[in-house]
Structure 1
Amino acid sequence: MLPGVRMFSAVAVLCLSAFVVMIDSTVVQVMVPALTVSFGAGLDDVLWVFNGFVIAYAALLITAGRLGGVHGPRRLLVAGLVVFALASLAGGLATALPQLVAARVAQGVGGAMIVPQTLTLIAAVFPAERRGTALGLVSATMALAAVLGPVGGGLIVTTWGWRWVFLINVPLCLAAVVLALRRLPPGATASGGELDWGGVVLIGTGLAVASYALLTPERLLWLVPAAVLVAVFALRQRGHRAPLMPPQVFRDRAFLVAGWVGAAQFGVLAGLMLLVSVRVQGELGGDAIDTGLALLPMAVAAGFASPVAGWLSDRIGGGPIMAAGMLALGAGAIGFALSTWGPAVAALAVAGLGVGLVMAPASTEAIRRLAPDLVPAASGVLNTARQAASLLGVAVIGGIAQQGPGALTTAATALTAVAVLSGLTALFLLSRHVSDDALTNRP
C-alpha cells in the first residue's frame, strides 16, 4: 500500500484515465451532423464511428482485465493510454470516414485496456477500508463525464470543429501516462503466467457479435451464435489451467450479487438516458446539447453521492446503500416519465442520486473477499457485464419506446421494475452476506 499523498495522486491518475475514456464514449451523437457534412456520408455509415468503438471495447474487456493480472495493471493502463492517444490523433487527422472508423476501433481497444485496470489498481494501492472512497471518486468522475460528453462535445464541435473532440485527448492521455509512471506501483498484482489465447478468440468474437446484434436490432438473431461462442468459452474455462475467468470468482456470493446490481444499474441508466433523449428531442423539440443539459442535474447528483456512498460502504457495507440507490434510480425513472418538465428534471436528479449510491459500493462489494490475484479477471467480468447491460437496456427500451402513445411510461415502468428487483436483491442477499461474515469471524 502507498502512503496517503501517493494514494491521492494514484486516484487522481485513475480519475483522469477513466474520464478520457468515458467522455469519448458519449460524445459521438453530437458529432453526427458535422461528420455527415464533412465526409458526405449517410447516417448508417457515420454511425459506425460509434459502433466501432463500442464493439471493440466490449469484446476486449475480459481479455484486458486478465492481461492486467499477468503483466501488471500499471503496464496495461499506460499502454492503453498510449493507444488511446495515438488513436485520438489519427481520428483528429482522418481525411476519410473509414480512417475515422478505424481510429475509433483503436480507441475502443485502448479504452478496454484502461478501464479494467482502475479497479485492479485501487485494490492493489488502497487498503480494504479505503477502497470504497477511492472508487467513489472514480465513479463520480465517470458519471460527470457521461453527461459532459454531449454538452462539452457540442461546444467543441460548434466552436472549433469535430476534429478537436479527438485531438484534445492527446495531451490529457500523455499527462495521465506521466502521472501513472510516477505515482502508480509498477508491479502491483502482476502474476505472470500464460494466457488462454483460444479463450481470447472465443469470448472476444462472442462479445463482438453480441454487441453488434444489440446495436443493430434488425440483426438480433445474431445473438444465437454469440451465445454459442460464449457457452463454448465457458466450457473451455472449466478445464483450462490458466482460465481468463477463474471459476473461484463465481463462487463468491458477494461478487455475483454486486455484479448483478452493478450491471442492472448500468442497464437502467442507459435506458433512462435514451428516454430522456427521446423526450427532449421529440416532445420538447430540443437537440443533443439540450439533452445533455437536461441530464446535468443527474450527473451533479451522482457526482455528489458517489464519494459519500463509497465512504459509507467502507464503514457499514454496501448492501443497504446499493438497495437505496436502486430504489432512488427506479423512482427517478418513473417520476421523469410521469412529470411535467420542471419536476421531470428534479426526478432525474433523484435518479442521479441513486446512480451515485450504487456505482462505488457495487465495485467495492464485488471484490471485497476476492484474493488479489483474482481481482484483474473479476474487473474484466464486471465491466463486460455492465457494458452488455447498457447495450441491452438501450435495445429493449428503444424497442418499447417505438410502440406509440404511452410507450414512454411503459418503458419507464420496466426500468423501475428492474431497479426495484435488483435493489431488493442487494438488500436481502448482501445483508445476509455481512451477517455470515460476522458469525464466521466471531470469537
Structure 2
Amino acid sequence: MSTREESVQSAGLAGSVAVLCLSAFVVMIDSTVVQVMVPALTASFDAGLDDVLWVFNGFVIAYAALLITAGRLGGVHGPRRLLIAGLVVFALASLAGGLATSLPQLVAARVAQGVGGAMIVPQALTLIAAVFPAERRGAALGLVSATMALAAVLGPVGGGLVVTTWGWRWVFLVNVPVCLAAVVLARRWVPPGVTASRGRLDWGGVVLIGVGLATASYALLGPGRLPWLAPAAVLIAMFAARQRRQPDPLMPPRVFRDRAFLVAGWVGAAQFGVLAGLMLLVSVRVQSELGGDAIDTGLALLPMAVAAGLISPVAGWLSDRIGGGPIMAAGMLALGAGASGFALSTSGLAVAALAVAGLGVGLVMAPASTEAIRRLAPDLVPAASGVLNTARQAASLLGVAVIGGIAQAGPGAFTTAAGTLTALALLSGLAGLLLLPRHVRDDALTNRP
C-alpha cells in the first residue's frame, strides 16, 4: 500500500471514530440529563414527580428492550444503515420532545429517543470490529469509551446550564443539528455494506426478548416492582429456549461458547453495575448530606469522568498489545479502591478517591469490549454487541436498585454499600485475570485456519 493510500485509509478510520464518538455522546448525554429537568417539567406541565419520572423511565425501558434486536439488525442490514437510521429517529424524537405540549407527548418522544439510541449504540462495536484492523480496535474503542464516560457526567452539568439559560426544551432541540451532522459524517466516512448479511429476523424472538427486557427494566426502576422480575425471567427463558431451535437465531447460542466473551462480558457488566452504584452514592452524599442538587452532583463526578476519559484510549491501546486481562484487573482494583475511599473520606480526599475510581473505569471499558469480541467470528459480532450492551444496561439498573436498597438500611449503611461495590469490583477483576484466555496476537487469530 502506498503512502497516499495509507493516509487516505487512516483519515477514513479517524472519520469513522469521530462519527461513532459523536453518536455515542448524544445518546449517553440524553440518558442522564433528565434528572436536572424534573423541577422545570413539573412546573411546565403541572404534574407530579411520579408522572415526570416517566420521561426518564420511558427512555430506559425502550432502550434496554431493543439493544439485542438492534444489534442483530445491524448484522442483517449493515451497521452503517442502522446507525444512520438510529440518528434520524433520535433527531426526530428530540424535535418532538422539544415541541411537546403535554407530558404524554414528551414521554412518547422519550420512548422514541430510546428506540433511536438502541439502534445507534450497538453499531459502534460492530463497525469497529469490521472496519479497524485487529491491532487497532482497542484504541478506537478507547476513544468511544472515553466519549461515553464524559457524556454520562456532563449530562447533568450541561443540561442544567441549558435549562437555566434557555429552558428545558432546548435540551432536546440541540440534539437535532448534532444528529444531522452525524448523519452527514456517517455517509461520508463510514463504509457502506459492512458485515451486512441476508439473514432473517426472528420476530417471535424479538417479541419475547423485547417484552422480557422491558419488564425487567420496569421492575428495577422503582421500589415495590420486584415481583415483575418473575414474568420477565420466564419470558427471557422462553427466548433462550427458542434461540436453540432457530436456524437463524436473534442471539446465536454459539456466542456463549466463547470463554473470552463470557469473562470479558461479565467484567464489563460488573464495572457498569459498580459505577452506577457509586454514582448513586455520590448523589446521596451531595444532595442529601450536603444540600446540593443534580448539577452539584455532576460537578462532583467530573474528576472521575475526566480521569476515565484520559486513560481509556491508553487502556485500549495497551489491550491491543498485551491483552486486556491484567488491564481490566487493575481497573477493577482501582474502581473498588475508589468506592471505598470515597465512602471513608471527606472533601478533597473524596474527590481524589473518585478520580481513582475514574481511572478504574477507563482501564476497563475498552479492554472489556475488545477482549469480548477478539475471538468471535465476524458474523457473530453484531449479536454479541447487542448482548454486551444489554448486560451493561441491566447491570447499571441492578446496581442502582441494590445499592439504593442497602444505602437506606440504617446506620452504617453507606459504608456497607460502598463495601459491597468494592467486593464486587475486586472479585470481578480477579475473575477476569484468572479466567480470561491467554492473550494471543491478533494477527495469529486472523490467520488461523
Q: TM-score range by the shorter chain?
A: over 0.9
Q: Does 1:196 align with 2:198?
A: no
SS in structure 2 of the partner of residue 307 of structure 1: helix
- Aligned AA for 2:439? V
**Distance verdict in 2 for CA 1:20–1:439, change over 3 Å:** closer
Aligned residues: CA RMSD = 1.6
**Distance verdict in 2 for CA 1:226–1:54, change over 3 Å:** same
Q: 8 Å contact 1:39–1:97 — kept in the other structure?
A: yes
Aligned residue in 2 for 1:344:
350
Deviation at 1:434, TM superposition (A): 2.6
In structure 2, what is the Cα distance between the partners aligned to 1:340 and 1:149?
A: 25
1:177 to 183, 186, 197: 183
In structure 2, what is the Cα distance between the partners aligned to 1:183 and 1:323?
A: 35
- Aligned AA for 1:213? A
Aligned residue in 2 for 1:94:
100
1:13 to 19, 24, 46: 19
Aligned residue in 2 for 1:279:
285
Aligned pairs (5 A) from 1:156-171: 156-171=162-177
In structure 2, what is the Cα distance between the partners aligned to 1:228 and 1:89?
A: 37
TM-score (norm 2): 0.96
- Aligned AA for 1:27? V
SS in structure 1 of the partner of residue 409 of structure 2: coil
2:438 to 433, 436, 440: 433
In structure 2, what is the Cα distance between the partners aligned to 1:98 and 1:435?
A: 53
Q: Does 1:390 align with 2:393?
A: no
- Aligned AA for 2:438? H
Q: 8 Å contact 1:150–1:288 — kept in the other structure?
A: yes
Aligned residue in 1 for 2:370:
364
- Aligned AA for 1:193? G
Q: 8 Å contact 1:129–1:315 — kept in the other structure?
A: yes
**Distance verdict in 2 for CA 1:412–1:349, change over 3 Å:** same
Q: 8 Å contact 1:322–1:361 — kept in the other structure?
A: yes
SS in structure 2 of the partner of residue 27 of structure 1: helix
In structure 2, what is the Cα distance between the partners aligned to 1:230 and 1:163?
A: 37
Q: Does 1:247 align with 2:253?
A: yes
In structure 2, what is the Cα distance between the partners aligned to 1:194 and 1:50?
A: 33
In structure 1, what is the Cα distance between the partners aligned to 2:218 and 2:253?
A: 27
- Aligned AA for 1:212? Y
Deviation at 1:406, TM superposition (A): 1.1
In structure 2, what is the Cα distance between the partners aligned to 1:145 and 1:16?
A: 10
Q: 8 Å contact 2:322–2:439 — kept in the other structure?
A: no
In structure 1, what is the Cα distance between the partners aligned to 2:244 and 2:223?
A: 32
Q: 8 Å contact 1:254–1:433 — kept in the other structure?
A: no
Deviation at 1:391, TM superposition (A): 0.2
Q: Structure 1 unaligned runs (5+)? A: none
Aligned residue in 2 for 1:381:
387
In structure 1, what is the Cα distance between the partners aligned to 2:298 and 2:440?
A: 42
In structure 2, what is the Cα distance between the partners aligned to 1:437 and 1:314?
A: 8
1:82 to 58, 80, 88: 88
Q: Structure 2 unaligned runs (5+)? A: 1-5
In structure 2, what is the Cα distance between the partners aligned to 1:10 and 1:437?
A: 21
Deviation at 1:433, TM superposition (A): 3.1
Residue range with higher mean Cα deviation, 373-382 or 396-405: 396-405
Aligned pairs (5 A) from 1:283-362: 283-362=289-368
Aligned residue in 1 for 2:3:
none
In structure 2, what is the Cα distance between the partners aligned to 1:347 and 1:227?
A: 37
- Aligned AA for 1:433? R
The count of corresponding residues between Structure 1 and Structure 2 is: 441
In structure 1, what is the Cα distance between the partners aligned to 2:270 and 2:102?
A: 38
Provide Cα deviations, 1:110-134, integer angstroms capped at 9, x if missing partner: 0000000000000111000000000
Q: 8 Å contact 2:137–2:370 — kept in the other structure?
A: yes
In structure 2, what is the Cα distance between the partners aligned to 1:81 and 1:276?
A: 32
Provide Cα deviations, 1:194-222, integer angstroms capped at 9, x if missing partner: 10000000000000000000002201010
Deviation at 1:341, TM superposition (A): 1.5
Aligned residue in 2 for 1:106:
112
**Distance verdict in 2 for CA 1:438–1:93, change over 3 Å:** closer
Q: 8 Å contact 1:237–1:246 — kept in the other structure?
A: yes
| Percentage of pairs with the same residue | 86
Aligned residue in 2 for 1:262:
268
**Distance verdict in 2 for CA 1:436–1:429, change over 3 Å:** farther
In structure 2, what is the Cα distance between the partners aligned to 1:9 and 1:435?
A: 29
Aligned residue in 2 for 1:126:
132
Deviation at 1:342, TM superposition (A): 1.1
In structure 2, what is the Cα distance between the partners aligned to 1:267 and 1:30?
A: 22
2:224 to 210, 214, 218: 218
Q: Does 1:205 align with 2:211?
A: yes
Provide Cα deviations, 1:108-163, integer angstroms capped at 9, x if missing partner: 00000000000000011100000000000000000000000000000000000000
